[in-house]
Amino acid sequence: MSQLRDIVLTLAMATMGLTAGLYAAFAYSVMPGLQRAGASTAVASMQRINVAIINPVFAVIFAGAVVFGAVGVALWWGDPLRWWLVAATILAVVSVLITMGINVPLNDRLDAAGTVSAADAPTIWTDFVRPWVQWNIVRAAVATAGFVVVTIGLLQTRP
């Protein structure tokens, strides 16, 4: 049981860290790079990113923070680490809710625009990018907080 607990904890921490890193990378590199590319290029590129990111690796990482966190809570229930895992898993759930409730609908709206003319691209991009980036920063901070919480919990509860 100890080995299973350690594996699940490792997977929870890894997926929480990878999720936080992905959101952060969008905040400090991908979105600023798209912004510098111009509206037409940014719209077309983000539409392609929205398609490319739907893959099995992303699915495991994205869902893993919640799934492995929740399983970790159950496996670590008799240990003081459980409360740290509960908090981290709640933060992971919040980041998923932000993604599914705000970022994904914005992505879907951008994708529904299809091929965008050079004349329409600035309006479409501006309507998309401002709320998307703001909420991405929020979910990056929330996901990072989850990773930090479980890391501190591990450090605080181990001899």
Question: pLDDT of 79-102, one tens digit each?
Answer: 999 999 999 999 999 999 999 999
Q: How confident is the model at residue 159 (pLDDT cuts 50, 70, 90)?
A: confident
What is the value of pTM for the model shown? Answer: 0.94
- pLDDT of 51 > 90? The answer is yes
Domain count, the chain: 1
Range of the domain at 91: 2-157
Question: Helices 2-25 and 81-98: crossing angle, nearest 10°?
Answer: 40
Contacts of 94 (CB under 8 A, 6+ apart): 139, 142
- The confidence score (pLDDT) of residue 158 equals 85
- pLDDT of 147 > 90? The answer is yes
Average pLDDT, the chain: 97
**Which amino acid would we find at residue 157?**
T
- pLDDT of 1 > 80? The answer is no
